[in-house]
Structure 1
């Protein structure tokens, strides 16, 4: 078959027409999600379903029109005074959800003034009913199966509330998703209604043999067939589909076209005594309970009784934006749990919010748990973006802990009737405490505000209970005084001048002041490590002195140099700043994480040559500075804003934005057709 030969003008028109049609299709796909939208629920963030109740959503109400039409129409004419029906909305939702409605029973909605005649399907005998986002708490004994039903009336019923969500603007998606309409469209295109059934184990049986033996997990079963209304494990085998429960958390996600039946089976074991307690919930919005495989919690540093941890950046908004300010002014939204790794029984509930709340030994910023541990907003660290920090104390020395980031509810609302109201938990991370008491954790200084790590200390002079503020003042005031001397010198430099008269076209005096402050705080406030830590990048300090408690250190060289040589060397037998550390604080022997050499390089590059800054070379550099290790888990040198595994945690906790993906796609299409 021969095609007609196009002229040059016709060819150009054809290409332009093709490109225009492609761009129109892209525009329609962006503005009409029903064109082609594949949605996958983010395990951390619930969608928004703040849709008002509509009687039309019940479609015939579940009754036979011919038989009951007259009686129902009569009932619809009866008007109730809303003032006579007063109850808390969330509690009312939970109470209504717990009822079993007989045929002909009245159903009164808190969103309407009419009595709507509803014929609700009763759950089979021995089966409990679940309502939308209305959790139920139950005890279950060894070897017992309990059954639940999420009825089609509830599945196709009204949606629950979500809350206002986190701050967001055009520059960031924040942490709350508004994809309710998208999920509606997805539901309309697929067979059935999306549902989520989740379970959290809150309490476990105790071992008969070992305190650290982990109990077996309860079993979760699922059936969408009326032929299997009581799924679960029996002596004859299993009925229904089994869903794995790990760490006390299980989830069923499906598209339902009718009633859904659930079974909860407790293992029959002789190694444990007592019972399980669990919370189960069903939702047509999003999972009521959440678990994420991400850790999203970073260990900054600690001493022998406390630790400091932070979340990754919570937004990428610029510092002068409204979103940035809202984040900094908001109440800290996250909490955390911590637990000594010597007690492994908590692993049985490590993915359950109520399980951690009931079993974790340590918590911070968790409602209902009162202690000295706190969670606050901060913008300290690389990038200066808002994040949340946790200071937890009452830890054991020389111990390793699991840390769990958590959230009560969905950050702005909690409990029955709320999407995601059951709380959420992130995967555990590991952190440890120091052995010696002459390193003290310090943060939130006035001048060196980016300092957040353990520094050389003396518990006899600066008590860990009430003396750390005085210790911080010693370091901070000294650094501020040294900076003032530098500032006098910087004022002699012609900073506000023409470009041709400036000392550099790439850097200015503001860059110089910033670099000097970073360098000054890092070198005058050394990062302290235990004397017994034999990492090769650590420098030994004050090795000829005794510890504050009078004990003598062991002289072990970790650099291949004879101990006597180190004893005679100034750098190993004194501190970096003897006037402040050795004379006033007197910490005794400790090891220092040397400042990173790039801090010195940045200082030299940012400041005018007239100030005379320079970095040491050869062995003198090795004695004064360290080099960053490519492994993000190793802090081989000290820099402000440092945190363990920082490169693994720079992602935003919010929902990834699709805007940049669309822009990239459009640009690619344009280049292809133009």
Structure 2
């Protein structure tokens, strides 16, 4: 019998280590299967260029009539999910029709849960994107702890109501329900499954979101309610992501404000996009940016749209009006502007095609994530903000005007005559008339200001707190506000409005009678109520009776505080013309009770309305009339 060779201590340790390694390798191979590339016929809903998808087939996996199928791949996924369950890939939304009372199931497989993250894109200016840590040790720790998973749903189509009253809440279709299970014991979550192994999320306004941590398969159920009050189907879009919600919703923020409107159009703006100074790179990037947001609008006489008010694809289906949203034939105007409070970049929307005397809903939206949209994009399903209300005027002698050359901060309705200045063609001429008149009045003032020694020593200046630049700014603000009055319907009964032109005929030739409108003869004969503060309105435009949102008192006070006494500016006294010429700002930030440049309805209470830095001023006891405007 041959003798085994005698090993040195070092050789003995090596042999033992080698044997242990071989044993562990055999154990590993016996417990796992190697993963090879596969060829799988993709469902027709999945783009052919994107193969990062999984799908569970109801048909026989051995059927290769449509091409080669990787049997191992089908068996591996089907072993964990029941038949009829479709699988989702990361950031890849899928659409499906669902009938009344039906439940459908999906799965977000563990391969995708623990797979690669998607790309977010460059984003908007001043946004700092999170840099992902690709360190191997950190990735392994995250893998063991599980990934954050987002399951989002948008309702794109909803059944129609059997009721004929479209303005009641009964016309709003019931919502779908989203069920989530992280347990392999409940692979088909839904209304009939064990409630202890699933989470139930009611869809709200066509939107639902689940956020949780998972390291295995995530099972999804979507159920449609039983109802006899509606007929038809729902169509929904469901998506899963380990990066961020594919569909976005800002439910507690509208980020949209109603500036003003007339009887067929409205002007809306977003909040400031940055607080950066005008000479900064970020500021310039925002101003040069292609408008990133869009707007949906719908008449409030059809309440059914509230069933999808939080869903991007639902609003795209049901909204009657849109701006800067792909797929709409009649696009409205959207552009970046720095007009308004603070002079910061914001986006504005000029919405036309509205009905007179109507209430509308407006919803700010973003297509995709501002960089890209669609499947394969983080946040590619679009985002919707909260709803705002806005109204159109009833009468046709107020016209919405903005983007003037000289009075560039003017953005509201002004007195007009629809016969002389038709809404579709005459607004540029109307704007030019108002703007050129204000510019001419400013030039006369500028001649007077040039007589003041502005560039002199501090001891010789007219004020240590203000200078000639402050005077010029204050005068322009005041001048534009008083020569271009803010117009409201004559039928508007708000107490802060001042009737104008009561003795003049309307554009259709009718006139106001004291008995019909409850107007006293004194108002018909009074200069303040029987004329406009700007002579060209009565002489050239001839709008007929209207009501004016009076300029704010602090505009006048700021003027006399900012300019030298030599110019002779003064404000009317209380009880002696002040109330007929100027209004008072309201403590309610959602109500414009006096006119100032940059004013907008529904501004947040956090936004300062004191654009001139004037909060407490002493009313100077002096009276002057300047160009019949004070």
Question: Deviations 1:54-103 (Å, cap 9, x if unpaired)?
Answer: xxxxxxxxxx950598966xx69x9x9xxxxxxxxx9457553244599x
Kept after mapping to 1: 8 A contact 2:332/2:350 = yes
**1:390 alignment partner, one of 349, 372, 388:** 349
- Give the structure with the larger helix fraction: 1
Displacement of 1:562 after TM fit?
A: 6.5
Check whether the contact 1:135–1:282 (CA below 8 A) recurs between aligned residues: yes
Would you say 1:203 and 2:157 are equivalent positions?
yes
Can you list the C-alpha shifts for 1:275-323, whole angstroms capped at 9, x where unaligned?
0000000000010001112111100000000000100100001000011
Residue 211 of structure 1 contacts residue 345 of structure 1 at CA under 8 Å; is this kept in 2? no
Task: Tell me the TM-score normalized by structure 1.
Answer: 0.78
Match of 2:561 in 1: 605
Go from structure 1 to structure 2 and tell me whether the alpha carbon gap of 1:514 and 1:641 turns closer, same or farther (over 3 Å shift). same
Q: Does 1:639 align with 2:617?
A: no
Corresponding residue for residue 406 of structure 2: 447
- Of 135, 156, 162, which aligns to 2:114? 156
How far residue 188 of structure 1 moved from its aligned partner, in angstroms, is 3.2
Distance 1:182 1:398 in 2: 58
User: 2: distance between equivalents of 1:198 and 1:522?
Assistant: 48
* CA deviation string 1:226-284 (max 9, x = no partner): 11000112499997321121000001110012111000011121111110000000000
CA distance 1:394–1:555, shift in 2 (3 Å):
farther
| Equivalent pair of 1:298/1:645 in contact (CA under 8 Å) | yes
Aligned-partner SS, 1:501: coil
Cα deviation, residue 211, structure 1: 5.2
User: Which residue matches 2:238?
Assistant: 280
Q: 1:191 to 1:450 in 2, by over 3 A?
A: same
In structure 1, distance between residues paired with 2:131 and 2:463: 50
Verify: 1:457 aligned to 2:416, yes or no: yes
Instruction: Give, in whole Å, the separation in 2 of the partners of 1:101 and 1:154.
Output: 18
| Equivalence for 2:264 | 305
1:434 has 2:403 as partner: no
SS at match of 1:604: helix
Is 1:97 aligned with 2:43? no
Mapped partners of 2:206, 2:462: distance in 1: 63
Q: Which of 203, 209, 232 lines up with 1:245 in the alignment?
A: 203
What count of residue pairs does the alignment treat as equivalent? 555
Kept in 1, the 8 Å contact 2:259–2:267? The answer is yes
Q: Residues 310 and 386 of structure 2 are in contact (CA less than 8 Å); yes or no, is this contact kept in structure 1?
A: yes
Gaps of 5+ in 1: 1-63, 81-89, 106-114, 169-173, 652-674
Q: Describe the shift of the 1:333–1:649 C-alpha distance in structure 2 as closer, same or farther (beyond 3 A).
A: farther
Which range is displaced more, 520-529 or 209-218? 209-218
In structure 2, relative to structure 1, the CA distance for the partners of 1:510 and 1:284 (3 Å cut) is: same
- 3-state DSSP class of the match of 2:566? helix
Corresponding position of 1:221: 179
Q: Is it true that 1:194 corresponds to 2:140 in the alignment?
A: no
Shift of 1:215: 0.9
Q: Is the 1:187–1:194 Cα contact (8 Å) retained in structure 2?
A: no
Aligned to 1:404: 363
Query: In the aligned structure 2, how far is the partner of 1:572 from the partner of 1:136?
Result: 62
Cα distance between partner residues in 2 of 1:413 and 1:334: 13
Contact 1:337-1:364 at 8 Å conserved across structures = yes
The equivalent position to 1:322 in structure 2, one of 276, 281, 293, is 281
Q: CA–CA distance in 1 between the matches of 2:302 and 2:34?
A: 62
1:93–1:416 contact (8 Å) kept in structure 2: no
Equivalent residue runs for 1:70-109 within 5 Å: 91=47, 94-100=50-56
The 3-state SS of whatever aligns with 1:327 is helix
Aligned pair in 2 of structure 1 residues 65, 383: CA closer, same or farther (>3 Å)?
A: same
Task: Check the 8 A contact 1:131/1:154 in 2, yes or no.
Answer: yes
RMSD between aligned alpha carbons?
Answer: 2.9
**1:291 aligns to what?**
249
Give, in whole Å, the separation in 1 of the partners of 2:416 and 2:192: 62
Q: Which has the higher contact order (CA 8 A, sep 6+)?
A: 1
Q: Which residue of 2 aligns with 1:178?
A: 130
Deviation at 1:508, TM superposition (A): 1.0
Q: Deviation per CA, 1:464-501: give whole Å up to 9, x if none.
A: 00110000000000000000001111111111112222
Output the TM-score relative to the length of structure 2: 0.83
2:411 and 2:180 map into 1 onto residues whose CA distance is 49
> Structure 2: which 5+ residue stretches go unaligned?
1-26, 40-45, 62-69, 609-630
Is 2:571 aligned against 1:615? yes
Contact 1:205 1:276 survives alignment (8 Å): yes
Confirm or deny that 1:576 pairs with 2:533: yes
Change (3 A) 1:584 1:611: same
Q: Aligned partners of 1:232, 1:557: CA distance in 2, in Å?
A: 64
The answer to whether the 8 A contact 2:322-2:331 is kept is no
Larger radius of gyration: 2
Change (3 A) 1:459 1:501: same
Contact 1:327 1:386 (C-alpha < 8 Å) held by counterparts: yes
* 1:594 alignment counterpart: 550
1:268 aligns with 2:268: no
Instruction: Write out per-residue CA displacement over residues 400-419 of structure 1, whole angstroms, 9 at most, x where no aligned residue.
Output: 10110100001111111111
Q: Secondary structure at the match of 1:634?
A: coil
Q: Which residue, out of 501, 525, 533, partners 2:484?
A: 525
